[in-house]
Structure 1
Amino acid sequence: MGRFLAFFLVFVTISGFAQDDIENTSISAIVVNAQTDVRMESVHVVNLNQVSGTITNERGEFSITAAVNDTLYLSFLGFKPQKIRVTNDMFKFEDTKIALTELAYALEEVIVRPYQLTGYLEIDIKNLPINNAYQYSISGLSVAYEGGNKNPSAVTKVLGAILNPADLLRNLFGKKPAQMRKLRQMKEDEEIRNLLASKFDREILTEFLQLEKIDIQDILNNCNYSKSFIVTANDLQILDAISTCYEEYKVLNRK
């Protein structure tokens, strides 16, 4: 009886380790075009649960750390983003195929309105739009970009907002502590940073942080970032701006 019990305990322990290995290892799969079955290169793949990312190689293959029930988010320009729930079968079979469906985009009409210049410097200067934005830097990058107002009034606005119980920042930041904690993880992951630096659609940010695009705009507006920055910045710059705003919110909120 004692030998049987010892054998049983060893078996359970080994099984437990094996299960942990299945749940905490990398999986491999292939991404293809749903219409043509052609393998797709440079598809962005992120694990929304573990805050990690990668891209497919020239054969459409990718490998990423994941656990059972994690959610993978795949995106590629011109294709519908796809969410995939990780299953045990994905660890057992390396030839799993994930198909992305192509989208049809219609270009909107763009009207260009040139400045009406008179040739008189004093008059033309008054008619030109004023850019109140300041240069903003990302840690680890040598190039600065246009960001929010860095003068003392910006801090005053944030402080005044936090003291208001109904303020949007409190509603968004205070109700999503888990998602906000992902901000630092996203900034520290080199693959995620590289991925976000090439994107402008805010899709991955909304998935990671569980926010709507309008929420991101409202956060940056309340943190005194200019409209031009909110519209033109890439996703990495937006991530850095939200992270800075959140850190200031936490400091001021404690006070």
Structure 2
Amino acid sequence: MCMRYLLILFLCFTTVNSYSQDSTNTKLPTRVKGTIISSSTNAPLSEVNIVNINQVVGTSTNDDGIFEIKAVANDTLLLSYLGYKSIKVRVTNDWLKFGNTEITMTELALALEEVTVKQLQLTGYLKVDMMAVPIQSNNRYRISGLPGQGYEAGRPNIATKVLGAIFNPADFLYNMFGKKPNEMRKLKKMKQDDEIRSQLAKRFDREMLLVLLQVNKYDLDEIVNQCNYSKDFINTANDLQILDAISECYEEYKVISRNNKRNKGKKKGRA
């Protein structure tokens, strides 16, 4: 009997110890490391932009094409580089387990669109020539993260927007913002990541914003347009300015939405 109990205890200890070791071995790191190279030259690419879409953190490759970023299994990384095709890469358990992974990016064939330049026909008379210069009546606003700079926006004041929202409660902004709270939370996290903000300040392709918001280019432009920013702003703003514009509009939308709910609650209470 004594030997049987000892055997049972030994088997239990072995099982617990084995489970403990397995748990330790399967514990995965919270960061992944990779090296990005060019498909045409096999040379490392430096300053490639990498953003973890799920964690909403960003980084870039060093001179050797190496990067390291916070990630867990099944996260998606968006890789983008000027002149190369952007790609999405899923973080796998094998990548987390075995460390550095080599990723290849492919060059894009660049094609320049035809641009028509309209010249001013100057007469030499100041009053006449001044009338030929297009006048824009848009105001300029400062944007966070860009000290000393500004952008134009033909926006009405907040009171006008509040009135518009009250009389049109099921407008485009409600449909976009109300149905995408997770994406808008990601946008807010982007504003807090200095690396991502630095990347967006240099970009005009809207790619990162499209991926995070899960919308197409037309919808993104329409969101900014419905936030009462001018077409000039939409066409010329960098991605950081678009991010800040949408974030500001979303915060105002939340205020308006809360006020509408309170007003409805008061009306029900009176009824």
Q: How high is the sequence identity, in percent, across the aligned residues?
A: 50
Partner of 1:32: 37
Partner of 2:226: 222
Partner of 2:258: 254
Q: Distance in 2 between matches of 1:99 and 1:162?
A: 51
2:111 to 106, 113, 122: 106
Instruction: Give the 3 Å change call, closer, same or farther, for CA 136–7 of structure 1 in structure 2.
Output: farther
Question: Relative CO higher for 1 or 2, CA cutoff 8 Å, sep ≥ 6?
Answer: 1
Say whether the 8 Å CA contact 1:74–1:81 is kept in structure 2. yes
Q: Distance in 2 between matches of 1:53 and 1:203?
A: 14
Q: Distance in 2 between matches of 1:170 and 1:238?
A: 18
Say whether the 8 Å CA contact 1:162–1:169 is kept in structure 2. no
Partner of 1:59: 64
1:115 to 120, 144, 155: 120
Given residue 62 of structure 2, which amino acid in structure 1 is its aligned partner?
N
Instruction: Give the 3 Å change call, closer, same or farther, for CA 141–109 of structure 1 in structure 2.
Output: closer
> 1:26-67 CA distances to partner (integer Å, 9 max, x unpaired)?
111111112222211111111000000111111111000100
1:236 to 230, 233, 240: 240
Say whether the 8 Å CA contact 1:132–1:226 is kept in structure 2. no
Residue correspondence of structure 1 range 118-133 to structure 2 within 5 A: 118-133=123-138
The worse-fitting range, judged by mean Cα deviation, of 8-17 and 156-165 is: 8-17
The worse-fitting range, judged by mean Cα deviation, of 190-199 and 207-216 is: 207-216
2:83 is aligned with 1:78? yes
Given residue 205 of structure 1, which amino acid in structure 2 is its aligned partner?
L
The worse-fitting range, judged by mean Cα deviation, of 37-46 and 156-165 is: 156-165
Return the offset for 1:226: 1.5
Q: Secondary structure at the match of 2:251?
A: helix
2:197 is aligned with 1:200? no
TM-score by length of 2: 0.84
2:141 is aligned with 1:136? yes
Say whether the 8 Å CA contact 2:155–2:229 is kept in structure 1. no
> 1:64-95 CA distances to partner (integer Å, 9 max, x unpaired)?
01000000000111111110010011123333
* Bigger radius of gyration among the two: 2
Structure 1 regions of 5+ residues with no counterpart?
Answer: none
Partner of 1:177: 181
> 1:94-139 CA distances to partner (integer Å, 9 max, x unpaired)?
3311111111011111111023344444444444323232222233
Q: Secondary structure at the match of 1:81?
A: strand
Q: Distance in 1 between matches of 2:132 and 2:161?
A: 28
TM-score by length of 1: 0.88
Say whether the 8 Å CA contact 1:136–1:146 is kept in structure 2. yes
